[in-house]
Amino acid sequence: MTRPIRTLLIANRGEIAVRVMRTARDMGLKTVAVYSEADARALHVESADEAYPIGRAPARESYLRIDAILDAARKAGADAIHPGYGFLSENAEFADACEKAGIAFVGPPASAIRAMGSKSAAKALMEKAGVPLVPGYHGEDQDPALLAREADRIGYPVLIKASAGGGGKGMKVVREAGEFAEALASAQREAKNAFGDDRVLIEKYLTKPRHIEVQVFADSHGNCVYLHERDCSIQRRHQKVVEEAPAPGMSPERRARMGQAAVDAAKAVGYVGAGTVEFIAEGDGFFFMEMNTRLQVEHPVTEAITGQDLVEWQIRVARGEKLPLSQADIPLEGHAFEVRLYAEDPDKDFLPQVGRLDHLLLPAAIPGVRVDSGVRAGDSVSIHYDPMIAKIITYGADRAEAAGRMSAALAATEVVGLPTNRAFLQAIFATPAFAAAELDTGFIERHRAELLPGPAPASARDLTLASLFLLLDEARASAAAAEAQDPFSPWGLAPGWRLNRSAFVDLTFAAGAERIAVRAHYVPGGFRLDLPEGASVHVEGAMAADGTLEARLDGVRMRARVVRAGQRLTVFAAGAEASLDHVDPRLASIEATGTAGRLVAPMPGTITRVAVGAGDKVRKGDALVVVEAMKMEHTVAAPRDGIVGSVRFAVGDLVDEGAELLILEDAE
Ligand code: ADP
Ligand code: ADP
Ligand code: MG
């Protein structure tokens, strides 16, 4: 039985919505987007043939509204809905509602979503299907005394997991029996808050495991295949950061055994469509963890090594077609990596960041590099959704080539406006242990010192390039003003900035609390800069309209870019970036006029972190409080420098939208 799909509605936003539309369009389908008030001008809206508003910014009032999405689908005449990932993608009620409305749900049957929805129930099913499990307890009985006995039986350390869990939430490692009761209570609390269900399961906690998952695909004719595996061991807070395919060191026999186990898992629940069976592997063993009944964030690495388009497969299967390839014909060639470029601050425990992307350059045009992104320069990363800016995927003939391309791609990535994990990702690829594929889920923790060196002081090169930028920019502005013969131009009036008044100009930079003075002497063809600690450099160069600098530093030629946003200068050179504030004497007087302000919760949620206390000095952009709702964390950041007056809530408190979280007072 086949069903026509001509118009596809994508019930999602961001990169995955844009990515699904690309394939849909290639297949000749009409594409329909939905959007919240916050996304009216988003890329996914512009990429679609048609787009429908579905409500306010909080996901609960838009992307999670089954009625509004079905309403849009009816208006648009959509005959299928792709849920993407996150939001409603693993919601059985939504899958049911689509089918009831006569609209194909591009995903598994609701029954399969339900069967895998509870990790405990899924494990019970898998046990029956003969799929290997981590030693543990996944029973119905939740009596704390029984759970404690089970933990003793399994042997410490153990891991308590929320049965309804996802996104690493509600997970607690317990090292010894004495800590069990407290950890259980805390896991139950988190699970109740996050999923409205406090049931837990207990597993043996493996101490040096790898996360290896298998991509499976099934059609409605009884065929089910695996498209090999992905290694997602590079994680922070039990969340993936880097993924690759194939898994290093995987023998063909083990691949076949894990693939078959994954296919058995899928068949046990009558699976149809794309799914991922996640295993935890240690030594020769591999154990079922959970099945994600949707397209995964990291599916592009599988596309790269198989040469298949998984979204195309999904749409074909939803039409009732047979799988395009049989098991023996699925290619596996080369190696691929994916990194998730997040708006987050690695130096602040990876806290998500929100703000405007003042400048964004993604390495789209490099051979072997694919970029999936849902944002452009000028867009904002909002408090309401996932803080992922882009996925960068690289492909190569082997692991080393793919990794080299990733380093190059990350070096060519420029983001200004909010902190990202770009340099952190770069550091991962520069670590010898990573090159040697010494992968396990403790990698980031173990290499913390190398990966998170902390903020470095501004280098002489960065100071020189920032100075050159200001000097060339000034010269350009003066020339423009002179040409316009504008007698009121501030450039004509600024003393110390006139080239002909004095033979030098003083520039002041601020990096954190530190002030850095640079004196620039005008010399034929360029400048001689006096840098801190008696250093001196001759610099000359030219600036293109796009801000690219062609510079010579003591004769050494280099290409760089300096991006200005307010007083902040971000210097991109040789694959690294550094930020400095230019302290402009002309602007000093109109600076910092803020008044004591209230900081309110962006949406109803739970306080999961209070980063400051009364009396703390904070700088503009510092994270103050983290509020969490559903799977999402929102950071409330300081809108300006100031002193924390009082903090109204503690970790664990529930807050309403608009609740006053803390008071920020003016410094003084
Ligand atoms: P995957 O296994 O596909 O990589 P994850 O477990 O990382 O998926 O996340 C699953 C889905 O939940 C994704 O859609 C991801 O965007 C979403 N998600 C996870 N964590 C968050 C978060 N903190 N905020 C918003 N969405 C999240
Ligand atoms: P989620 O639904 O949040 O994705 P998972 O059950 O998939 O939860 O586990 C998330 C991560 O936690 C895994 O990728 C792995 O790094 C770690 N983990 C899960 N189970 C174990 C275990 N038994 N021992 C050690 N680490 C584990
Ligand atoms: Mg998982």
Query: Residue 159 belongs to a domain with what CATH number?
Result: 3.30.1490.20
Does 120 sit in the ligand 2 pocket, CB within 6 Å?
A: no
pLDDT of the residue at 514: 85
Q: What is the pLDDT of residues 255-286, one digit of tens each?
A: 999 999 999 999 999 999 999 999 999 999 99
Does 443 sit in the ligand 2 pocket, CB within 6 Å?
A: no
Does 290 sit in the ligand 2 pocket, CB within 6 Å?
A: yes
Q: What's the sign of the alpha-carbon dihedral 184, 187, 193, 199?
A: negative
524/207 Cα distance (integer angstroms)? 63
pLDDT of the residue at 492: 46
pLDDT of the residue at 566: 84
Q: Is residue 260 part of a domain?
A: yes
- Dig out the tokens for 414 from the structure: 């420029």
Asked if 155 and 35 sit in the same domain, the reply is: no
- C-alpha distances in Å from residue 219, one per residue of 3, 43, 210, 222, 303: 13, 32, 29, 6, 18
Q: Which of 292, 212, 305 is nearest to 250 (CA)?
A: 212
Does 90 sit in the ligand 2 pocket, CB within 6 Å?
A: no
pLDDT of the residue at 518: 96
Q: Is residue 168 part of a domain?
A: yes
Last residue of a domain, one of 586, 617, 632: 586
Asked if 238 and 269 sit in the same domain, the reply is: yes
Q: What is the pLDDT of residues 388-440, one digit of tens each?
A: 999 999 999 999 999 999 999 999 999 999 999 999 999 999 999 999 999 99
Asked if 130 and 144 sit in the same domain, the reply is: no
Last residue of a domain, one of 539, 554, 586: 586
Residue nearest atom 5 in ligand 1 by C-alpha distance: 167
pLDDT of the residue at 589: 39
Residues whose CB falls within 8 Å of the CB of residue 67, separated by 6 or more in sequence, listed in order: none
Asked if 577 and 606 sit in the same domain, the reply is: no
Q: Which of 116, 298, 386 to mutate to test the pocket of ligand 1 (most atoms within 8 A of CB)?
A: 386
Q: Is residue 560 part of a domain?
A: yes
pLDDT of the residue at 237: 85
Q: Is residue 182 part of a domain?
A: yes
The active-site residue, picked from 13, 210, 294, 422, is: 294
167 CA from centroid of ligand 1 (Å): 6
**Running DSSP on this structure, what letter comes out for residue 176?**
S
Asked if 582 and 597 sit in the same domain, the reply is: no
Look up 557 and say whether it is catalytic: no
**Residue ranges in the chain modelled with pLDDT below 50:** 491-498, 500, 588-596
Last residue of a domain, one of 149, 183, 204: 204
Does 235 sit in the ligand 2 pocket, CB within 6 Å?
A: yes
Does 211 sit in the ligand 2 pocket, CB within 6 Å?
A: yes
What CATH number has the domain bearing residue 345?
3.30.470.20
Asked if 180 and 260 sit in the same domain, the reply is: no
Q: What percent of the chain has pLDDT over 90?
A: 75
CB 474 within 8 A of CB 491: yes
Asked if 321 and 230 sit in the same domain, the reply is: yes
pLDDT of the residue at 587: 60
Range of the domain at 292: 126-134+210-333
Q: Which of 116, 195, 280, 286 to mutate to test the pocket of ligand 2 (most atoms within 8 A of CB)?
A: 280
Q: Is residue 415 part of a domain?
A: yes
Asked if 321 and 228 sit in the same domain, the reply is: yes
Q: Give the pTM.
A: 0.87
What CATH number has the domain bearing residue 76?
3.40.50.20
Asked if 536 and 636 sit in the same domain, the reply is: no
What CATH number has the domain bearing residue 495?
3.30.700.30
Q: Is residue 198 part of a domain?
A: yes
pLDDT of the residue at 348: 82
Structurally, how many domains does the chain consist of?
6
What CATH number has the domain bearing residue 638?
2.40.50.100
pLDDT of the residue at 332: 98
Asked if 401 and 295 sit in the same domain, the reply is: no
- Dig out the tokens for 94 from the structure: 């939504």
Asked if 130 and 261 sit in the same domain, the reply is: yes
Asked if 240 and 200 sit in the same domain, the reply is: no
219 CA from centroid of ligand 2 (Å): 28
Q: Is residue 2 part of a domain?
A: no
